[in-house]
Amino acid sequence: MRKLMSLLSLLFLVGLQVSYAQMHTVSGIVTDKSDGSPLPGVSVVIKGTTIGTATDLQGRYAIEASPTDMLVFSFVGMKTENYTVGDRTIINVALESDAQSLDEVVVTGYGVTRRRAFTGAATTVGAQDIVDKTDANPIKALEGTVPGLQMNVSSGQPGAPATIFIRGRNSLNSGTQPLYVIDGVPVTAGTMGMRSAENQTLSPLSTLSPADIESMTVLKDATATSIYGARAANGVIVITTKKGRSGKLQANLTVKLGMEMKPSIPKSYRPLNADRYTELQVEGLLNDYDLYGENGNAAYYNDVLFGGYFPYTPEGMKEMMYAYLETDGSTSTNWLDEVTRVGFVQEYNLDLQGGGTSETSPRFYTSFNYFNNKALVISKDLERYSGRVNFSQSPSKLVSYGFALNLSYTKTNMGAGGGYFTDPITQAYMQSPLIPVKDENGDWNFNTLNGYNPVAQRSKYGDKSEAKQYRFTVSPYVTINFREDLIFNSRVGIDYYDLKEFGFWSFLQPQGKDMRGMGEHGSTARTLLSITNTLSYVKTFNEEHNLNLMIGQEVQKTKENLTYLAASNYPLFNLNQVANAAVPSSASTSKNDYALASFFFNGQYDFRNKYYFSMSARADGSSRFGKDNKWAGFWSIGARYRLSEEDFMESTKSWLTNLTVRTSYGTSGNQDVGDTDYAHGWYASRNLFGFGYNYNGLPGSAHEQQGNPDLKWEQTNKFNVGLDVSFLDRITLEFDYYYHRTKDMVFLVPISRTTGLTTVPKNIGKLENQGIEFTINAKVLRINGFDWDLSLVGSHNKNEIIKLSTDEPIEGAITIVEKGRDIYTFKMKKYAGVDPQTGEAQWYKGTEGYELTKNYNEAGKRYVGAASPKFQGSLISRMSYKGIDFSFQLNYSFGGKIYGDNLSYDEQIGGSGFDNTTRYVYDHRWQKPGDVTDVPRFVFGDGSAANNASTRFLMNGRYLKIRTMSLGYTLPKYITDQAHLGTVRVFMTADNLYTFCAKNFRGFDPAGIGANGIQWWNYPTPRNVMFGVTVAF
């Protein structure tokens, strides 16, 4: 027996020795096949065992394996690859993207995280969804596609900025816009310049070509945003640009040509044509006589006002109107058509990318883009030139480096400023259709209702408002691998933005004519410098515990130089530089700067790819605050639990692919405190003195701002709980509930006037937002090459003011900001329609009840709803079959109110004489006893209170919009191979095709209204149709 045991032991030792002799170390790098970038966190497992490892931040791995083993490389968002070891010691793997899993990778700005390990809330939009949109501002591609993101674009002007609220508005008086990060570097994104208050401005983000963007990720909750500390209370939008690919040089050329047209304007909001206008004005003149002449004033109206020349008959009133307007009645001018056109849009993009096949080879991506938009409204154009170079190289295992560089030049011609009379859309709705654009001599006709001719103002020698943007951004970086699990990264970001503006009110308008022209020049130069250093530690213990730690330090410095000059009285209309003017009217310069210093930490841990935990902390010090409040801390914790991986869920795996719950809590800050229109909010904690108060040739200074040294950060506490479910690998659901509470909101509090000032900023207010959001993705069909995917996005947000600076609400003419109510609450007099017997307007008397009155002053203000929508989102459909692809996006919103401030002019009941009006007034006006309507009797020259603010102009803001539609065809490979080409795709895209809106809506587009729900004469969002081709060489 003893001999037998000895023999067995010998055989075991020999076998063990042979086994160990066969085992050897296999190492390599795992990269993304699309761009050659390393993939951290890729799972590398010996098939059929639990033995495995994960790649580090540089995509490197090492594992002990035998020649017969098979290595399985898997990563969320990528297709799994299997490799037999054999006698190889190096196996480099390039994983191919699984397009259906794009959203499963989250880019946070400081790194990349697998969605399955991400404890927060974020949404990613891919490259195709971005380039399918036609706007010059790529941020508008997020509209409707991201749950919890509300986008308000109140101007359809090319490159116009978009106001974005992520999970509601988190402040009343301070900054409300998200932080934008491009390739790891924070950038300037807010509107600037002397036209920003008039919405006649260009978004700095429109300098970025959409064709260069790989993805945009919206970070929403505390886990995702608190790492950005003082800048993240309003969320973060991370933009990742395209990187170089390994392998041979590849070129892609895209050409787009298209048209820009007026949107689908509701019939009720169209200006009257000449026939209807004439009929209505004559009716108004006759009603004027009926209203006043019967009271003994007939002689006055016949003999004094009109000199007895025009009897009060329909024909007489028509002749009187023709005489007043100096027309024979044969003209029929559509002023809206005169100030608009079928615009022309063209875009050309060429990108080159490539790199060597070895690990140490450099990789690059470079692009050149030209965009030109001859816009819908005449003289409002945009032209952009941009270029990008992204470079990276890993010459050794120790170090890697690279940079991202972008250059752009953008020029816009915006016509005159957006004031009351100078705006072309305003004038298009006011001017009489009986007045011609030019007189009988072919000269511009200024015998208009108010002396303005909007077509002349947009002519060659008319008003000017030009802006030129120069932008340079660069972000070099270096990465040092001290060990496979210890990596240092340093990145420098420089964002230089230079805006040159020129405005001129010409001789072809009353204002400019009286002053012999008025001109202004503005210059804004802003530089943002940031330096970020991080040290990361990534380690897997016992093949079950995965740890990812990062500490970092960051500094940011922003400098701004502003210049403004204005003058009047010019020698000639074409010598319109300020230096040529005889009368200088204004000159100012200013320099502003602020700095931010930060230290931060981020940690992630998971056990068996089942239990995930995260934590982050950040300390920010800002020069905006007093010495006792310069520093503040922000933090977050998060957890994620994959129930579907539990053994007790084994029986459900055939149909329940994934079941995960996650939650997070933490804080983010807002350093953009104070009234940002006053000293930029950069110096709200300081006393400021202004110079230029000169007297008798001597310089003077005055106290302009009372600072508050105790002023501190606004802070938002964020809670989130989410559920992720996947059925049969075909249907996925992401559901989130969130609660945000902002405290220490800054208000300007009144102080004693004996100080010579009126207010001081203080931390007082509180505000909360809570809501739900969801995304449902479904692979509807997979039949014989026909694929059909659907996505439904929805969100609901409820905001409430918890505390104001005083116990009294802040009440405007039609709005109120009050404790316990929505930020955008409407409060106004409630309109009760028209008296069916007399045609007079009626209101509800007092503040409650249903008693009617015809005296506007007896009506009391009532709460009548809010502008904030109750629910909004989109439905997105994508289909493909044998090279044909078709997609569309429908955006929807309901539950919000819109107040048509412009309608008190557009729908006047004769109050402004011969101003034009809309079809709604014509079609719904009271004409005879018994008519039940909401439009009063039309009376010429009647300054009726019916035109005053009331719910007469309050509308339902619901809509369903065909936002985007795209049809494409990719040529078969056998055809392109014969032409020695790569992929060739021809396509057509259309934006803003049609909007279904509420019956009582009178405006261009309910989606094109500001967040406050107040409609003015705005530049309509155009309807775009583009045709294009993409060729890969």
> For the stretch 776-798, what's the b/e string if a residue is b when 16 or more beta carbons lie within 10 angstroms of its beta carbon?
bbeeeeeeeeeebbbbbbbbbbe
| 270, 1004 Cβ separation under 8 angstroms | no
Is 823 part of any domain? no
pLDDT digits (tens, 9 = 90+) for 398-442: 999 999 999 999 998 876 554 556 788 888 998 999 999 998 899
- Does 109 lie in the same domain as 242? yes
pLDDT digits (tens, 9 = 90+) for 212-247: 999 999 999 998 888 898 888 899 999 999 988 777
pLDDT digits (tens, 9 = 90+) for 826-875: 999 999 999 999 999 999 999 999 999 999 999 999 999 999 999 999 99
Confidence band of 13 (pLDDT split at 50, 70, 90): very low
Residue 425: name the closest of 454, 464, 456, 462 by CA. 454
State the DSSP string of 808-858.
S-EE-SSEEE-TTS-TTEEEEEPEEEE-TTT--EEEEBBSSS--EES-GGG
- Does 110 lie in the same domain as 86? no
Q: Which of 62, 97, 132 is the last residue of a domain?
A: 97
Write the CA distances from 285 to 133, 309, 322, 930, integer angstroms.
Answer: 49, 15, 13, 21
Confidence band of 198 (pLDDT split at 50, 70, 90): low
Is 618 part of any domain? no
Q: What pLDDT does 416 receive?
A: 54
pLDDT digits (tens, 9 = 90+) for 704-741: 778 888 888 889 999 999 999 999 889 999 999 999 99
Looking at residue 191, which CATH number applies to its domain?
2.170.130.10
What's the average model confidence in pLDDT over 187-196?
76
What's the average model confidence in pLDDT over 768-792?
94
Count of CB atoms within 10 A of residue 68's CB?
Answer: 9
Instruction: List residues bridging with 994 in a β-sheet.
Output: 962
- Does 124 lie in the same domain as 83? no
Residue 594: name the closest of 231, 352, 288 by CA. 231
**Arithmetic mean of pLDDT over the chain:** 87
- Does 239 lie in the same domain as 120? yes
Is 996 part of any domain? no
Q: Could you tell me whether strands 105-107 and 179-182 are parallel, antiparallel, or unpaired per DSSP bridges?
A: unpaired
State the DSSP string of 891-956.
EEEES-EEEETTHHHHT-SSTTTT---BHHHHHHB--STT---SBPPP-TT---GGGSSSGGGEEE
Which structural domain, as residue segments, surrounds residue 134? 104-246
Confidence band of 677 (pLDDT split at 50, 70, 90): very low
- Does 241 lie in the same domain as 110? yes
Is 138 part of any domain? yes
Q: Flag whether pLDDT at 8 surpasses 90.
A: no
Q: Flag whether pLDDT at 99 surpasses 60.
A: no
Looking at residue 73, which CATH number applies to its domain?
2.60.40.1120
- Per-residue tokens: 215: 């993805």
Task: Determine which of 161-170, 765-774, 789-798 has the lowest per-residue pLDDT on average.
Answer: 161-170
Q: Which of 246, 271, 292 is the last residue of a domain?
A: 246
Residue 708: name the closest of 747, 676, 668 by CA. 747
What is the number of alpha carbons within 13 Å of residue 1023 lying toward its C-beta? 15
- Does 194 lie in the same domain as 88? no
Compute the distance between CA of residue 36 and CA of residue 94 in angstroms, rounded to an integer: 8
Q: Which of 42, 68, 97 is the last residue of a domain?
A: 97
Number of structural domains in the chain: 2
Q: What pLDDT does 939 receive?
A: 87
Is 114 part of any domain? yes
- Does 64 lie in the same domain as 194? no
Confidence band of 16 (pLDDT split at 50, 70, 90): very low
| 71, 82 Cβ separation under 8 angstroms | yes
Confidence band of 200 (pLDDT split at 50, 70, 90): low
- Does 110 lie in the same domain as 77? no
Q: What percent of the chain has pLDDT over 90?
A: 51
Compute the distance between CA of residue 531 and CA of residue 615 in angstroms, rounded to an integer: 23
- Per-residue tokens: 579: 């230096």
Is 288 part of any domain? no
For the entire predicted model, the pTM comes to 0.86
Count of CB atoms within 10 A of residue 540's CB?
Answer: 20
pLDDT digits (tens, 9 = 90+) for 613-646: 999 999 999 988 888 889 999 999 999 999 998 9
Q: What pLDDT does 190 receive?
A: 75
* Residue 10, Cβ density class (10 Å: 0-12 exposed, 13-18 middle, ≥19 buried): exposed
Q: Which helix (H) or strand (E) holds 695?
A: none
Q: What pLDDT does 579 receive?
A: 85
Virtual CA dihedral for 459, 462, 465, 466, nearest 10 degrees?
A: 60
Q: Flag whether pLDDT at 314 surpasses 90.
A: no
Task: Determine which of 132-146, 360-374, 607-621 has the lowest per-residue pLDDT on average.
Answer: 132-146
- Does 64 lie in the same domain as 177? no
Count of CB atoms within 10 A of residue 221's CB?
Answer: 31
pLDDT digits (tens, 9 = 90+) for 517-546: 888 999 999 999 999 999 999 998 888 899
| 1010, 1017 Cβ separation under 8 angstroms | no
State the DSSP string of 420-438.
TTT-HHHHHHHS-TTS-SB
- Per-residue tokens: 697: 């040739």
Is 212 part of any domain? yes
What is the 3-state secondary structure of 599-666?
Answer: EEEEEEEEECCCEEEEEEEEEEEECCCCCCCCEEEEEEEEEEEEHHHCHHHHHHCCCEEEEEEEEEEE
- Does 121 lie in the same domain as 242? yes
Task: Determine which of 405-419, 769-783, 977-991 has the lowest per-residue pLDDT on average.
Answer: 405-419
Residue 876: name the closest of 950, 804, 790 by CA. 790
- Does 135 lie in the same domain as 36? no
Compute the distance between CA of residue 1027 and CA of residue 989 in angstroms, rounded to an integer: 7
Q: Which helix (H) or strand (E) holds 446?
A: none
pLDDT digits (tens, 9 = 90+) for 274-309: 999 999 988 888 887 665 544 445 555 555 445 556
Q: What pLDDT does 32 receive?
A: 76
Is 550 part of any domain? no
Compute the distance between CA of residue 1026 and CA of residue 1028 in angstroms, rounded to an integer: 7
* Residue 342, Cβ density class (10 Å: 0-12 exposed, 13-18 middle, ≥19 buried): exposed
| 354, 197 Cβ separation under 8 angstroms | no
- Does 241 lie in the same domain as 138? yes
Q: Flag whether pLDDT at 799 surpasses 80.
A: yes
What's the average model confidence in pLDDT over 248-269?
93
Q: What pLDDT does 304 receive?
A: 43
Compute the distance between CA of residue 800 and CA of residue 724 in angstroms, rounded to an integer: 28
| 854, 872 Cβ separation under 8 angstroms | no
Q: In the chain, count H helices and then E strands.
A: 13, 51
How remote is the C-alpha of 409 from its chain's centroid? 21
| 390, 365 Cβ separation under 8 angstroms | yes
Q: What pLDDT does 102 receive?
A: 43
